[in-house]
Amino acid sequence: MGLPGGFEFTGIACGIKPSGKLDLAVVSVKNPCVAVGVYTQNIVRAASIEWNQRLTPTEGFMAIVVNSGNANACTGQQGIDDNQTIAAIAAQHLEAEEDQVLVLSTGVIGQHLPMPETIKGVEKAISELGDSQDHFERATKAILTTDKGPKTVESVVATNSGEIRIAGMAKGAGMIGPKMATMLAIIISDAKISPEKAQQILNRAVEQSFNRISVEGHTSTNDALVMICNGNSEIEVDSEESILAFEKAITENCIELAKQIPADGEGASHLITIDINGATNDQQAECVARTVAASALVKTAVTGSDPNWGRIVSAAGYAGAEMDVSKTSLRLNGFLVFENGQPVEFDEKQVSRALQNQFETLIELTIGLGTGAARHWTSDLTQEYVRFNSEYTT
């Protein structure tokens, strides 16, 4: 499909991760351009989050440096200074200003970055920048921590003036809660757009994507989504037609990236889609969707391929939303198991097999006759998740 032009990438191993795996990525442009971001709502924030929030939206973006294996969170003034040093070193080698460089960090909380290795890594990464698919792929791997593999998207937007290209990368498998729950993601495009319009589009896209996912409901200190538009296509996103087409594509790409996160949830054996309909309004539906997604009993029932619909209905009942039980119905992977407030006869073994044999599980819950609707994606809860997180240093 082809990457947006005018971007360069790299991913290297510089020694932040003890494993020796790739742990530092850079995405850069030749000329200053638009960058906007959405960040964690956690009060406890990494140094990189405070840095990026101060700088975006911007028309002066030149590069973003991402390190994995170390969150640089809860590290005091030294962490703040280290983050600024990373930006300054990158700016020096890119002939830019330090406030034109964004920084993202992810990994273990409460440990200081190994700065000699990190500084050398930034210098080495910038010397290896390139615009090939291989360079892009190396960057997508360098941002990972507990992920099984890279999470990427690429698409083309057709407008009356020509084609706009979009690509994206994300990381995240655990510590995913529905409050800017990306862990990390970067969207790039060759569209020409104002920072204000880009920020508005990103905000709306996030509400339909990254804010609708969870693994265990834990909002991270480092969650961030940055969108970079370098204008390389010379296609202005300023008409009603181009804005609608671009926003639709950005939203679809964000949804695709977001879904890949719970699908790769630590120890996950199922990706669960929760569709709520019939609510008084969309906000009420979202409240129910989040509550069902957060239920350990619902998640473990899916793990065990148990069509225990009572867990789902009861979770909806304590969500705090308006609900008409007499008009509540539930389907599991298309099978009707509860209708108008009463159980219905169904083949439990058949439904259990449908849950067991499909990686994606669909929960469709109607809670009344209203027009409110919402969708949420989550993962199931397995013994492997418990084992992994009892052994992994956090």
Q: Which residues form the catalytic set?
A: 182
What are the DSSP E strand ranges found in 83-133? 101-108
Location of structure tokens 């924030």: 45
DSSP 160-171: TTEEEEEEEEEE
Q: Name the token pair of 246.
A: 């671009």
Are 253 and 168 a contacting pair, CB within 8 Å?
Answer: yes
Q: Look at the alpha carbons of 176, 179, 182, 184 in this order and tell me if their dihedral is positive or negative.
A: negative
* Residue 56 φ/ψ region, left for φ over 0, alpha for ψ in the -120 to 50 degree band, beta for the rest: beta
The whole-angstrom separation of Cα 379 and Cα 364 is 16
Are 44 and 73 a contacting pair, CB within 8 Å?
Answer: yes
Written as one letter, the residue type at 231 is G
Q: Name the token pair of 242.
A: 């181009």
Q: First-to-last CA distance in the chain?
A: 38
DSSP 262-278: HHT-TT-S-EEEEEEEE
Helix-then-strand count for the chain, H and E: 11, 15
Rg of the chain, C-alpha, whole Å:
22
The whole-angstrom separation of Cα 283 and Cα 161 is 37
